[in-house]
Amino acid sequence: MFGAAALLLAAHAAIDSWLAPEAGTGASEHLLRLTATVAILAAAVVLYARLPAGGRAALSAAVGLVALVGAFLAIADARAVGARDEDWSGFLLLPVGIVLLGLSGRQLWRSRKQGGRRHLRRAGIALAALLGAYWLLVPVGIAIVATHRPRADVAPADLGRPYDQVTLKTKDGLSLAAWYVPSRNGAAVVLYPSRQGAAEHARMLASHGYGVLLVDARGYDGSQGDPNLFGWEGATDVDAAVAWLGRRPEVVGGRIGGMGFSVGGEVMLEAAASNDALRAVVSEGAGVRSVREHLLRGPKGWFSLPEAAAQTAAVAVMSGSAPPPSLGDVVSRITPRPLLLIYAGRGGGGEELTPDYYRAASQPKSLWRIDEARHVGGYEARPREYEARVVELFDQALLGKAG
C-alpha cells in the first residue's frame, strides 16, 4: 500500500512538472523539483521496509499529509478556474492521503508497548514527532503551497476610471496580465502583486490623476509562469512593468512609482534597489521571504531557525530558484529615492521586521505603524490618513509638489 501510494505521488509530480507545466514554462525548468521528489519517495519506500512499526507510522503520516496538501491544492485550483491536466491526478491524492493516515494509525497501534515507562516513552515520541513536523514537515508543506498557488478568475473591477487590459513581457519571456488606467497628470504607479487585490488603492491613486498599472505576478491568475508566494523572481516582473510605463507617451519624463503589498511589498523593495527608474516606493506588509530575513530576529528566532532553513531549501528545490538577497541588505540601495514603509500592529508573516528594514534604509525614508490594522489592511483601517500619506509621497517625488 505504501509503495503504491508513493508511485501515485511520483506520477502526479511527473504530470505537474513535465507533462502539464504552467504556461510559459517547460519541463527543463522543473528538473530539480521532479528529481528531488522521485528520489525522496524512492528512499521512503526503501526505508519503510526496514523500519519498525513506529517508524512506519511516522513515515506513512508524513507522506499522507503531503498527499492531502496536493489534493487540496488541486481541488482549490479546479474550483477557481476549472480542472486542468495536473488537477485530475491531484484528485487521486485525496484517497491516497486518507489511506496513508489510516495505515499510520494502524501501525502506531501495533507499535504500542506496555511497561512501567510506557507513558514517558510515549511522551518522548510525541515530542519528537511534534518537533519533526514543525522543523521539517510543515516547511515542506508550505513550500509546496507556495510554488503551486491555485489560480483565480479575475472579474472586471471598478477602478474609478476606464482601464485597458494589457500584456507585459518579462525579460525571461513570460506574459503578465495587467490593467492600466491611463495617467492624467503625467505620472504613473505600479501596483503589485495582483490585480484583484489592489482595486481600492488603484481607485485612490486614479482619483488624483495618476496612471495605475495593476500587475498579476508570474504564476498568479492571468499571468504565465510558476507561482512563488515568496516572490523570489518577482523583481523581474516589476522591471517589465516599469519598462512598459516608460514607453507610454502620457507618462512624462519617467515619472514612475511603485507600491507593493505583502510579498509585493518585499518585491518592490528589491526591484527599487536595482532599478533607478522607480522614483518612489511604498511597501506595505513586507515580511520574511527566506531564512536570510529570519536571521534578523537574532536569538529570539533560534528555535524556529531549523524550520526557516528547511522551508527556504524546500522552496529553492520546488522553484528551481536561489533565495533572493535579504531585504535588510537591499533597502539601503534605494536612496536617494523616497521610501515609505507601512506595517500593521496586528499583522503577520514577519512584518514585525519592518522597523529593522527601516533602520537599514537610508534617507529619505518614513515608517508608519497602524496599530489597529491587520496584514495589508492599512487603507481599510485609516483611509483618509493612508490616502494623504501615500499621495503626498508620490506628489513630491513624481510631480515635484512641495509637502
* Residue 124: pLDDT band with limits 50, 70, 90: confident
pLDDT, tens digit, for every residue of 208-266?
999 999 999 999 999 999 999 999 999 999 999 999 999 999 999 999 999 999 999 99
pLDDT, tens digit, for every residue of 330-368?
999 999 999 999 999 999 889 999 999 999 999 999 999
pLDDT reported for residue 115: 60
Q: Which cell numbers hold the place of 403? A: 509637502
Bridge partners of 69?
Answer: none
Q: Which CATH class is domain 164-289+324-399?
A: alpha beta
Mean pLDDT of 281-289: 97
Tell me phi and psi for residue 76, to 5 degrees: -65, -40
User: Cα separation of 135 and 105, whole Å?
Assistant: 22
Residue with cell 504613473: 188
* Residue 52: pLDDT band with limits 50, 70, 90: confident
Beta strands in 262-338 (DSSP E): 281-284
CA nearest neighbour of 144 among 28, 40, 5: 40
pLDDT reported for residue 293: 97
Mean pLDDT of 125-146: 88
Residues 6 or more apart whose CB falls under 8 angstroms from that of 50 comprise none
> First and final CA of the chain: distance in angstroms?
69
* Residue 303: pLDDT band with limits 50, 70, 90: very high
User: Cα separation of 70 and 300, whole Å?
Assistant: 33
Residue pair 194/217 in contact (Cβ under 8 Å)? The answer is: yes
Residues 6 or more apart whose CB falls under 8 angstroms from that of 381 comprise 344, 370, 372, 373, 374
Spacing of C-alpha 29 from chain mean position: 19
pLDDT reported for residue 131: 84
Q: Is the peptide bond before 249 cis (omega within 30 degrees of 0)?
A: no
State pTM to two decimals: 0.94
User: Cα separation of 368 and 364, whole Å?
Assistant: 14
Average pLDDT, rounded, for the chain: 94
Is the confidence at residue 4, as pLDDT, over 90?
A: yes
| Side-by-side strand order, sheet with 211-215 | 164-169, 175-181, 211-215, 188-192, 256-261, 281-284, 339-346, 365-374
Residues 6 or more apart whose CB falls under 8 angstroms from that of 347 comprise 285, 287, 373, 374, 375, 376
User: Cα separation of 251 and 223, whole Å?
Assistant: 24
3-state class (DSSP) for residue 92: coil
Is the confidence at residue 373, as pLDDT, over 90?
A: yes
* Residue 114: pLDDT band with limits 50, 70, 90: low
For residue 127, the number of C-alpha atoms closer than 13 Å in the C-beta half-sphere is 6
Higher pLDDT, residue 122 or 308: 308
DSSP annotation of 249 reads T
Return the amino acid letter for 137. L
Mean pLDDT of 279-299: 96
Residue pair 40/33 in contact (Cβ under 8 Å)? The answer is: no
Long-range CB contacts (within 8 A, 24+) of 81-87:
81/150, 81/151, 81/152, 81/153, 84/20, 85/15, 85/19, 85/20, 86/12, 86/15, 86/16, 86/19, 86/20
Return the amino acid letter for 24. G
Is the confidence at residue 116, as pLDDT, over 60?
A: no
Bridge partners of 38?
Answer: none
pLDDT, tens digit, for every residue of 150-209?
999 999 999 999 999 999 999 999 999 999 999 999 999 999 999 998 999 999 999 999
Is the confidence at residue 122, as pLDDT, over 80?
A: no
Mean pLDDT of 15-31: 93
DSSP annotation of 16 reads I
Q: What percent of the chain has pLDDT over 70?
A: 97
